[in-house]
Amino acid sequence: MIDRRSLISGGAAAAVAVSTAGKAMAAAAARAPQGFLWGSAGAAYQIEGGNFASDLWILEHMKPSIFATPSGDADDSYNRIDEDIALAASFGFNAHRLSIEWSRIEPEQGQISYAALAYYRRVLEQLHKHGMAPVVTFIHTTVPRWFAANGGFMTADGIAPFASYCQLVTQHMGDLITASATFNEPNINALLSWEPTMRNLGPQLEMMRKGVAAQLGNPKWASPLLSDFHIQQPIMIEAHSRAYDAVKTASKGAFPVGVTLALNHDAPPPNGDMTGVLLKRSQVLTPWISAPGDFVGVQNYSRSIVGPDANIPETGVPMTQMGYPYAPEALEKVIRMVAAEARRPIYVTENGIGTEDDAQRVAFIKVAVQGVMNCLADGLDVRGYLHWSLLDNWEWTSGYRPKFGLVAVDRQTFVRTPKPSAYYLGQIAKAGRVV
């Protein structure tokens, strides 16, 4: 096999030819290093079921609603988490990403549920028992009702309660955490503001927010999901920074703390004008990598063509169930962009596809993971690949229609049925490379 050093010697023309072929071979054969995290991800609200004390529970039950179906029992994972963990381990994964539902830990402001803290501690213990490293997210979209009632992250009053919650969780289970994210995709509202369809949805979201506020007789009521990123994002960045310090202190720096970011591969329109790409990046990436953080969690699902002030919808290309382009090759491009901009270690904390066709998921994984291997072959510091998602679950406003899971879940019996893609990703995890 041609090794990378042998490419340095030799005549110039030959070196270029060999270099291209050699690089391709090296990339194809690239393996993940020892300790690389392989696994899948999930979020409490999307799988646990019955999270009545969360802001989203109120939103789902508003009329009219932008949610296709309420979350209800979700996957009943709160009661079946041991089975879920055992399943993930059986595929050969060595890591798992999960979130903690703040509204279970602190259902009313200042009222701590020690039972819920003990529950999540037990979940992390189960992961370790099965040889899987826990990657913990403190907020994955949802917040307690009382927090939304106080104005959420639309007011600086939200900063201290969030930092205290992160500190509390770290004190109770920090010894079991491998890596953590303060927020999941706190840049999502900024990212979606570039989507022309979401711009039309903007007034509808504000109408919903006002509807809840009126129904509850509380004009301050603010759910992060519905809030204007121009006001909310700087406050969330401050909240992240304070939580970062709190977790670092409580854990004595034992594990890395970062955020996970929703990032499309953004390309300019055919005229090459980068105005929109750079402006979008300055909103969705730069503010977050300028804040404290030990890594960047990359979450990629697709690509966009970005005009000067909005994405330009693509037509005539294969789409996923979510209505955006099928683009497994986007992950590699996003990792390279983030590595160049952030100069921090990267974990792929989400990547996946909504599809009923599991063979398409297998094909997607193959290309996406090869992209990660290509980055590793080029010396980029990528430390894990966590696929979204372990289970088919509640996909926010789309309800239960999109299927992102490696495992199917019966909506009435909750019986779990692994799909071929689960075993395929497991084989990759065991080999440490694309198979």
- Interface contacts to ligand BGC, rule CB under 6 A: 43, 46, 184-185, 262, 299, 350, 388, 395, 404
CB of 388 vs ligand BGC, minimal distance in Å: 5
Cβ within 8 Å of residue 343, ≥6 positions away: none
Which CB sits closer to ligand BGC, 43 or 179? 43
CB of 262 vs ligand BGC, minimal distance in Å: 5
Which CB sits closer to ligand BGC, 266 or 350? 350
Tokens read off for 188: 């999502």
CB of 350 vs ligand BGC, minimal distance in Å: 6
Which CB sits closer to ligand BGC, 75 or 350? 350
Which CB sits closer to ligand BGC, 126 or 142? 142
Nearest to residue 257, comparing CAs of 136, 107, 168, 359?
A: 136
CB of 387 vs ligand BGC, minimal distance in Å: 11
CB of 185 vs ligand BGC, minimal distance in Å: 5
CB of 404 vs ligand BGC, minimal distance in Å: 6
Which DSSP symbol is given to 412?
Answer: T
| CA 16 – CA 173 distance, rounded (Å) | 52
Beta strands in 129-189 (DSSP E): 133-139, 179-184
Nearest to residue 383, comparing CAs of 34, 4, 24?
A: 34
**Beta bridge partners of residue 387, listed in sequence order:** 40
DSSP string, 9-63: SS-HHHHHHHHHHHHHHHHHH--PPTT-EEEEE--HHHHS---TTBHHHHHHT-S
Which CB sits closer to ligand BGC, 184 or 374? 184
Nearest to residue 346, comparing CAs of 360, 359, 336?
A: 336
Which CB sits closer to ligand BGC, 191 or 376? 191
3-state secondary structure of 144: strand
CB of 397 vs ligand BGC, minimal distance in Å: 10
For CA atoms 9, 14, 17, 18, give the dihedral sign: negative
Measured CA distances, 100 to 61, 168, 352 (Å): 22, 12, 21
Q: Tokens 């798992």 sit at which residue?
A: 96
CB of 183 vs ligand BGC, minimal distance in Å: 10
| CA 378 – CA 273 distance, rounded (Å) | 28
Strands 37-41 and 382-388: parallel
3-state secondary structure of 189: helix
Which CB sits closer to ligand BGC, 251 or 349? 349
Measured CA distances, 167 to 116, 160, 400 (Å): 15, 11, 33
Beta strands in 52-200 (DSSP E): 95-99, 133-139, 179-184
Which CB sits closer to ligand BGC, 48 or 185? 185
Which CB sits closer to ligand BGC, 159 or 391? 391
CB of 293 vs ligand BGC, minimal distance in Å: 17
CB of 352 vs ligand BGC, minimal distance in Å: 7
| CA 305 – CA 132 distance, rounded (Å) | 38
Whether 392 contacts 418, CB under 8 Å:
no
Which CB sits closer to ligand BGC, 101 or 350? 350
CB of 272 vs ligand BGC, minimal distance in Å: 29
Which DSSP symbol is given to 260?
Answer: E
| CA 21 – CA 242 distance, rounded (Å) | 48
| CA 365 – CA 284 distance, rounded (Å) | 25
CB of 99 vs ligand BGC, minimal distance in Å: 9
Which CB sits closer to ligand BGC, 126 or 184? 184
Q: Which residue type is seen at 132?
A: M
Which CB sits closer to ligand BGC, 364 or 388? 388
